[in-house]
Amino acid sequence: MKKRKNIDFVSKCVEKMAPSGIRAFFDLVLGMKDVISLGVGEPDFVTPWNIRETAIFSLEQGYTSYTSNKGLYKLRLYLERFLKERFELVYCPENEILITVGVSEALDLAVRAIVNPGEEIIVPQPSYVSYGPIVELAQGKPISLPTTEKENFKINPEKLAKLCSAKTKGIILNYPSNPTGISYTRKELEAINKVCQRYNLLVITDEVYGELTYEGRHIPFPALAGAKERTIYLNGFSKAYAMTGWRLGYACGPKELIAAMTKIHQYTMLCAPIISQLAACEALQAGRRDVESMRREYKRRRDFMLDGLNALGLACVKPQGAFYLFASIGKFSLNSLEFANRLLKEEKVAVIPGVAFGKGYDKFIRISYASNYMQLKEAIERMGRFCRKLKLS
Ligand SMILES: Cc1ncc(COP(=O)(O)O)c(C=O)c1O
């Protein structure tokens, strides 16, 4: 038998997969001094003290075991109460809530639980970098639904309807969005829901930034009339509670779908870390005071950055949530990779090239404002210098 090269051990699907555009860019940043990073999608706050203290105390008490595959019952009960009080969403803690290792795992489980080989999942773009590859790993086919700056990067229901066929299994929604920060009104969501109902689509809705909403009220997709039975709702603790490193998320949905996801979860992850689950109980029990103060600070930064970038000619659609701005570089002749590379080398400001979020977004950059206010001020000054230089050249 012919000897395999090491590369042949890697599956075809993984071999042809491009590495994450965000990670690739950040390899460049590592090791550079004095860089202001507006790249990572991670809160600059540390987890509130009461949550950390609970975790420390849990360890002292010897909580070091596995939990039930579904997650601690206490945490599922707290989530049931949180979802009911905050959004009037009713999920049964016994069989409609699954605790996962971040929204990332919940997303992977949801896609793997529903996709048969060759089935299509619609991914509105620009999109969070994981959606396409996760669908491909499940042997599904991601179908891009581009949104434009003119549409405020919102899904156009007519365009959505045109993409639906017998092969379409579902759609992945994400609002407030990474990378644009846009969100939807009830009316806009209802129009999307109508198409999903007409074409019998399953909706996976990633609402990890729901608590970081600045304009209006966040409306979870399953709260819409008739949507709950066809929706897997994903949320987690990473962003709202500044708990990215704790790796904790959850999925809620119809019991048959949660049971299917739990099957995969019990053979792969077993359960989420017990310390993180106990810490999350404290996060939910303590209420929203810390979440609210972080949200207010992000809003202040959003307003500052929006004004600053627009004044530099880097026009942005006003984000309604999350902590990103998707700025147009259409006034300059560089593509997004050239722009980001030169900005990094010449002014030491790191942003993410728009192409990382979809092919059609090479005239945009993503800027995260999850950095302290002084750094954001300095970043705007440096970007101003850079833009003036580009205009003169
Ligand atoms: C839209 C979106 N979904 C999911 C995640 C990952 O969340 P988690 O840390 O809960 O896995 C991120 C992280 O940046 C994100 O932006």
% pLDDT > 70, the chain: 99
Residue 346 Cα to ligand 1 middle (Å)? 30
**pLDDT per position as a tens digit, 72-81:** 999 999 999 9
pLDDT band for position 31 (50/70/90)? confident
Q: Distance between CA 240 and CA 237 in Å, rounded? A: 6
Phi, psi (degrees; rounded to nearest 5) at 337 = -70, -45
pLDDT of 114 higher than 90: yes
**pLDDT per position as a tens digit, 83-97:** 999 999 999 999 999
For residues 277 and 75, is the Cβ–Cβ distance under 8 A?
yes
pLDDT of 391 higher than 90: no
pLDDT of 98 higher than 90: yes
pLDDT of residue 2: 77
Domains of the chain: 6-47+290-392 (3.90.1150.10), 63-285 (3.40.640.10)
Position in ligand 1 atom list of the atom nearest CA 236: 10
> Which residues line ligand 1 at a C-beta cut-off of 6 Å?
41, 102-104, 128, 174, 178, 206, 208, 236, 238, 244, 249
pLDDT of residue 32: 84
Q: Distance between CA 20 and CA 40 in Å, rounded? A: 13
Position in ligand 1 atom list of the atom nearest CA 128: 1
Q: Distance between CA 101 and CA 83 in Å, rounded? A: 19
Position in ligand 1 atom list of the atom nearest CA 105: 11
Q: Among 20, 101, 104, 205, which is best to mutate for testing ligand 1, by the most ligand atoms less than 8 A from CB? A: 104
- In SS3 terms, the chain reads as CCCCCHHHHCCHHHHCCCCCHHHHHHHHHCCCCCCEECCCCCCCCCCCHHHHHHHHHHHHCCCCCCCCCCCCHHHHHHHHHHHHHHHCCCCCCCCCEEEECHHHHHHHHHHHHHCCCCCEEEEEECCCCCHHHHHHHCCCEEEEEECCCCCCCCCCHHHHHHHCCCCEEEEEEECCCCCCCCCCCHHHHHHHHHHHHHCCCEEEEECCCCCCECCCCCCCHHHCCCCHHHEEEEEECCCCCCCHHHCCEEEECCHHHHHHHHHHHHHHCCCCCHHHHHHHHHHHHCCCHHHHHHHHHHHHHHHHHHHHHHHCCCCECCCCECCEEEEECCCCCCCHHHHHHHHHHHHCEECEEHHHHCCCCCCEEEEECCCCHHHHHHHHHHHHHHHHHHHHC
Q: Distance between CA 237 and CA 374 in Å, rounded? A: 26
**pLDDT per position as a tens digit, 310-356:** 999 999 999 999 999 999 999 999 999 999 999 999 999 999 999 99
Residue 286 Cα to ligand 1 middle (Å)? 23
Residue 342 Cα to ligand 1 middle (Å)? 28
pLDDT of residue 21: 65
pLDDT of 155 higher than 70: yes
β-pair partners for 326: 366
For residues 152 and 126, is the Cβ–Cβ distance under 8 A?
no
pLDDT of residue 384: 97
Phi, psi (degrees; rounded to nearest 5) at 12 = -60, -40
pLDDT of 119 higher than 70: yes
For the residues 6-30, what does the mean pLDDT come to?
Answer: 79
pLDDT of 24 higher than 70: no
Position in ligand 1 atom list of the atom nearest CA 244: 9
For the residues 203-208, what does the mean pLDDT come to?
Answer: 98
Mean pLDDT over the full length of the chain:
95
Q: Distance between CA 353 and CA 365 in Å, rounded? A: 5
